[in-house]
Amino acid sequence: MNLIDSHCHIDGEQFDADRDEVVERARAGGVVAMLNIGTGDPHSDDFRRTVAVAERYDNVYCSVGVHPHDAKLYDDKAEEHLIEMVKSSKKVIAWGEIGLDYYYDHSPRDVQRDGFRRQIRTAKELDLPVIIHSRDADDETVEILREEFGPPEGGTQNGIMHCFGGTAAMAEALMPLGFLISFAGNVTFKKADNLREAARVVPLDKLLIETDCPFLTPVPFRGTRNEPSFVVHTAKFLADFYGVELEYLAEQTTTNFTNFFRIDL
Ligand SMILES: [Zn+2]
Ligand SMILES: [Zn+2]
């Protein structure tokens, strides 16, 4: 069985003690690739560490970009540094995570919006797809993506809506703009009927799965540190939900990922 964790954070200090084992456990569990999303301060060495982790392991790819929490840190110098990181390694295959987070509001909203649009444009110039984070800001996220990526062109692969937390209508708005929809472990939570309602409108060829580890541990490991090998629990849950075999869902989401990024595993 081939699985892919489309969004993880294994470059963080939560994995410093046992990163090799975590990657090996994932590989042993059928996870053939992981996309490690770089986060942190673009004026520090945070993103060098992101790229170094991807360089260390065959099956780990990475992205760089400034999270909406840190949008206030995005400036010319940050942009220059991140572009340098993209050019430093073939393992950097996406820009993100970028977007809007109006739940935490760690950066002022107008600053988040500016940083979001600016990074979309930079990613386009570099011909990289974007990884989108959106929390309590779904209408504005869709509006910005529509303005920056619309009108949709057939077959364009623009980005991934990660840890999908929106409505069915949001998923339906994003897929024609060239976005894949990625579900994390929270889709398995008892109270997440709203997420499952959205999952119902996502066809299997637009679907990805992720851990967003170390956060959002899926049932039955809720409460412990999440890691890429746990992506199988979200895969199992969604296979049941869609009424398909686990192997089928695993292969389909893996193909979606490798086609999207045009990578050979
Ligand atoms: Zn996120
Ligand atoms: Zn993330």
Q: Is 84 helix (H, G, I), strand (E, B) or coil?
A: helix
Query: What is the tens place of the pLDDT at every residue in 85-127?
Result: 999 999 999 999 999 999 999 999 999 999 999 999 999 999 9
Q: How far is the CA of 66 from the centre of ligand 2 (A)?
A: 11
What is the residue type of 26?
A: A
Report the Cα 83 to chain-centroid distance in Å. 19
Report the Cα 34 to chain-centroid distance in Å. 10
Query: What is the tens place of the pLDDT at every residue in 8-28?
Result: 999 999 999 999 999 999 999
| For range 168-183, the mean pLDDT | 96
Q: What is the pLDDT of residue 155?
A: 63
Top pLDDT among 150 and 91 is at: 91
Contact 148, 121 (CB under 8 A): yes
Q: How far is the CA of 264 from the centre of ligand 2 (A)?
A: 24
Query: In this structure, which residues have their CB less than 5 angstroms from ion ligand 1?
Result: 97, 133
Residue 152 has pLDDT above 70, yes or no: no
Mean residue pLDDT of the chain comes to: 96
Query: What is the tens place of the pLDDT at every residue in 34-67?
Result: 999 999 999 999 999 999 999 999 999 999 999 9
Q: How far is the CA of 107 from the centre of ligand 1 (A)?
A: 15
| Per-residue confidence band for 153, with pLDDT thresholds at 50, 70 and 90 | low
Q: What angle do CA 161, 172, 97 make, to 5 degrees?
A: 10
Q: What is the pLDDT of residue 150?
A: 83
5 forms beta bridges with: 34
**DSSP label at residue 13:** G
| For range 154-169, the mean pLDDT | 91
Residue 154 has pLDDT above 80, yes or no: no
Q: How far apart are CA 62 and CA 135, in angstroms?
A: 22
Q: What is the pLDDT of residue 227?
A: 97
**DSSP label at residue 38:** P
Q: How far is the CA of 6 from the centre of ligand 2 (A)?
A: 10
Ligand nearest to the CA of 163: 1
Q: How far is the CA of 212 from the centre of ligand 1 (A)?
A: 7
